[in-house]
Chain A
Amino acid sequence: MNETKVGVFLSDCGNQLSQILDFDALVNHVKQVPGVALVVKASEFWRGEGLKTIVDAIKGKKISRVVVAESLPKLSEIRVVKAAEEAGLNPYLVEVIDLKDHCAWPHRDTPSEATEKAKAMLLAAIERAKLLEPIEKLEFPITKSVLVIGGGIAGMQTAEDLADLGIKTYIVEKSPFLGGLATRAGRFFPTDDCAICIQSPASDVKTITHTSRKCVYRSGFTEIPNLNILTNSRVIAVEGATGNYKVTIEKKPRYVNESKCVGCDLCTTVCPVAVPDEYNAKLKKRKAIYMNVPNVHPPVYVIDENVCKFHDCAKCVEICPTKAVELDQKSERITLNVGSIVVATGFQECDPSIVKEYHYDEYPDVITNLELARMIDGFGPTSGEIIKPSNREPARRIVIIQCVGSRDRRWNPWCSSICCMISLKHAMLIKSAHPEADVTICYIDIRTTGREHEYYYERAREMGIKFVKGRPSEIVHDPETDMLIVDVEDEILRRLLELEADLVVLASAMVPAEGTKDLADMLGIELDQDGFFKEYNAKLRPTETKRRGIFLCGGATFPKDAPTTSLHAHSAAMKATKFLSAGKVVKDQKTAVINEEYCGDCEFCPVTCPYGAISLVPKGEEHFVAEVSDLLCEGCGICVGTCPVNAIELRHARPNQMSAQMKALVSVNGTGKPLILAMCCSECGHTAVDSSGMAMMQYPANVRVMKVPCTGILQVHVFLEAFKAGAQGVMVVGCKSDGCHYEVGSQKAQKKVELAKILLNEYGVEPERLMMHNMVFIEGADFAEAAKTMTERLEKLGSLQLTDVS
């Protein structure tokens, strides 16, 4: 093996740093470090001549490791690393530190101390650089196809975008018809237009203009090239990993041949079986062979296998003019190979029977908003008439109750977010059709936060809809008058009201769609506390999940109105396309690696890995060892911080590298103050230090910063080693506990720090010598303050004298 030759490049930032740091001393110090083959000082190294110096040194084989002390560490690192790579050096053999923001600026009041610290920082970088190992790039192929689960508006919009972009797309819908909840809703607020309207695919150049939006049935949705629609189907198994999923779909028989049915309706006229129509709020009956409403998609009848008499009857078979009815169809298993999956399973209306005091399960004239929507719909079971289901008389006194089972800690604590607007829409539609109707909305808070939504509320008041601020305590049916009585306090009047109603409508909570939990388990993705699918990051990755290549959109993440759903769907399509377009995942092998010889199969690491990247594989008879998936591993080191036998290492942060760095940082003091090692995560923790320096906040130079991938990598023994190496205090600086870039790293670090403090106390070492801090970039002042406080605290405590430690 070739000798390791370190090149050290010292930037004085246009002579700015020289006014504080003694560069001659630094150069002399660095020159004496074994392994250093080249020391160069210049004004800057991240561009122009400076960068060329580095490139030439690499090309001329003068050096095999690069240490650059430069300001603008993040930007300069990108430039230097790229140049080094182009010059033929593995990019992981470059170490960049920031002598400006981490040393000169924050210690400008004590220049000689700053110089001593700079020596330690350089030594640490050199010692680490000597131990660095090249890391290779990995490529994982991706199948360029996508499965969209759910055929509501979110799923359709996403699928259409993807297919339009030339990606082979499958859409799987569990019910026999597309459209989801939206088709039952009839109209959308705040425009009152048709719910079944979607954006038309751009691929149809003949009929589609830029402004086209069309009903589902005339959108040409089924005709988009690359799009395969599977209705009456559900996902039953998902295997494989990112980029290459094998999905098993169960397609239930429709018993009607989709390519033969002409939708003539003769079959329903002869079908002898009639059952309450769930789709239409049980307000009418439907046959065993049916379509939900006219103009559904696909426009093909389906047989309800739970009620059909099949061959005992077979009247539909006889009458069908195209021989489309096939009573012997069987369910099929279809296997799809896809690179990506988009979950668009939406949400559903909660059964409000749980709120017993409203008697939804007992009183037929208590209905839900979605059931009311069917009544209002001209295609619906009552042809638009608002009736009392108990006797089918017209209902003219209507009370709508908001937040039923929603914002209710007994059931669903969240605000379902769209019910206020739905109720306003229904109230206005009723009022426009029947101006004499008396419509009252009982509410806790009216939430009309969307664009134009407040005007909608205003219009409702204009139309004479009554609003009672108060949540009813009970609905009582008075057998004498056959009226429903709603007990409610009007809080504004402070008056207890007994509202009489023909019909009471419950704005029932919107809850995760049935099967959400099973699907999440199958896909290995998380749910939030309310049971909806959890996005990776609500602000930055609103359609992504922790599983690369699995995306979310629409109401599957939370109840959404149509515009937001659409926005979300298009965004998911973009992210999925971006993921698939490269045809491969390119990733550095900046990952954890297990040393099988030492792994004892304690199975602690797989449960701590936030990415599900660690599995156990059989090794010999009845023995297992952990194995890391390079594809899924994000390189945080939380597993390293867990492993009780140190059988796991990160390729880019080996224990020997960290140890060498740590020892070097405390090898030089020169400040007369107690040495403090600040172990900062490479994300928020380190950038908080950057920002304190950038803002020239002052803190003492005895504070030495050591960058680690994530504080989750730190083990308790690292703290002990630090004290043994001469640190008088240790600060662990990580992300906020709920803002950790690796999800759980800083929480785990916090717990390790807490336990280590208990341990230190037993060792007779003051626990306050070890502190955990959680910071974000903008809290640089907090870092400076914490560093000062720690220094003062340690000065008060006096020197830590570890005895008998040789």
Chain B
Amino acid sequence: MVHEKDDETLRAGFSGEIKHRLGGETITLCYQCGTCAASCPVAKVTEKFNPRGVIKLALLGERQEVLSGSAIWLCSSCYNCQERCPQKVEIADVIYALRNIAIMSGHTPNIYSEFASGLMKEGRIVPISKFVEKKRTDYGLPPLKSAGVEAIKKILSTTGFDKIQWKKEGTP
């Protein structure tokens, strides 16, 4: 999870930081044609999100504005923009990279902390209610197999996931 910063990254500032992050590699290919915005189902219904705008802000180096704002959390990860981008910017992945950086910088929406704690405790992000589990036999379903919680814990500890500071800042 530690991503080393070399000279080039530092020179390129925020966009360099993104480029060196898994998923963010293609950000500087963007030439702002707007295909992503026109493809975006979310941009169609709210002005709070425009993928082109997010990338533009990031390329301009507006780190704080990008990371603390709500826009990056409004991508629905539908990949429509990514399919059509004529510069092969992996837009959805760039947004993942931005979210990863945001979380490392302490900007975590509540629901994501919940996902994380579910994963850490049970190895699943949607908890299974006793009610549904009991009803399985009624529908002729076999008992559920246990989740590999121990393995997950080891993986999370190796990547440092379990050490992320889940600052309760409320929804950005």
Contact = CB atoms under 8 A, between A and B. Distances in A.
Whether the complex brings A and B within 8 Å at their CB atoms is answered: yes
Interface of A: 357, 403, 407-410, 444, 469-474, 487-489, 491, 494, 496
With most chain A CB atoms within 10 A of its CB, the pick from B32, B39, B86 is B86
With most chain A CB atoms within 10 A of its CB, the pick from B32, B33, B35, B44 is B33
A470 B88 contact: no
A712 to B, nearest CB: 30
A473 B38 CA distance: 5
B52 A491 contact: yes
A474 B33 contact: no
A473 B35 contact: yes
A444 B33 contact: yes
B31 A496 contact: no
Given A487-B39, A488-B34, A403 B52 contact: no
A472 B35 contact: yes
A410 B87 CA distance: 7
Q: Report the interface size class on chain B.
A: 20 to 34
Contacts of B84: 357, 473-474
Contacts of B86: 403, 407-410, 471
Contact of A472 (B32, B38, B44, B80): B38
Contact of B43 (A403, A407, A496): A496
A494 B38 CA distance: 10
B39 A473 contact: yes
B156 interface: no
A471 B35 contact: yes
A221 B150 CA distance: 85
A16 to B, nearest CB: 46
Given A403-B86, A408-B86, A489 B31 contact: no
B159 to A, nearest CB: 32
B15 interface: no
Contacts of B50: 489, 494
A494 B46 CA distance: 12
A403 B32 CA distance: 13
B87 A469 contact: no
B89 to A, nearest CB: 9
B29 interface: yes
A494 B37 CA distance: 9
Nearest to B89: A409
Contact of A491 (B34, B80, B81, B88): B34
Contacts of A496: 37-38, 43-44
B53 interface: yes
Contacts of B39: 473-474, 487
A471 B38 contact: yes
Contacts of A474: 38-39, 84
Contacts of B52: 489, 491
A487 B41 CA distance: 11
Contacts of A470: 33-34, 37-38
Contact of A489 (B34, B80, B87): B34
With most chain A CB atoms within 10 A of its CB, the pick from B36, B37, B43, B81 is B37
Contacts of B87: 408-409
A472 B36 CA distance: 9
Which 3 A-B residue pairs are closest in the complex by CB-CB distance? A473-B38, A408-B86, A470-B34
10 contacts: A357-B84, A470-B38, A471-B38, A472-B38, A473-B37, A473-B39, A488-B38, A489-B52, A491-B37, A496-B44
A469 B88 contact: no
A471 B34 CA distance: 6
A489 B49 CA distance: 13
Interface in B51-74: 52-53
A469 B53 CA distance: 14
B38 A469 contact: no
B31 to A, nearest CB: 7
Nearest to B36: A473
A470 B35 CA distance: 7
A474 B40 CA distance: 11
A3 to B, nearest CB: 62
A361 to B, nearest CB: 17
Given A470-B34, A491-B37, A496-B44, 18 more contacts: A403-B86, A407-B31, A408-B86, A408-B87, A444-B33, A470-B37, A471-B34, A471-B35, A472-B35, A473-B35, A473-B38, A473-B84, A488-B34, A489-B43, A489-B52, A491-B32, A494-B50, A496-B38
B38 A487 contact: yes
B71 to A, nearest CB: 13
Nearest to B32: A491
Contacts of A409: 29, 86-88
A432 to B, nearest CB: 29
Contacts of B44: 496
Contacts of B80: 473
A444 B37 CA distance: 13
Nearest to B86: A408
Contacts of A408: 86-87
A474 B80 CA distance: 11
A434 B85 CA distance: 35
Nearest to B53: A494
Contacts of B43: 489, 496
Interface in B92-141: none
A490 B124 CA distance: 42
A473 B86 CA distance: 10
A402 to B, nearest CB: 10
Contacts of A357: 84
Nearest to A412: B86
A444 B31 contact: yes
A174 to B, nearest CB: 31
B87 to A, nearest CB: 5
A403 B81 CA distance: 17
Nearest to A469: B34
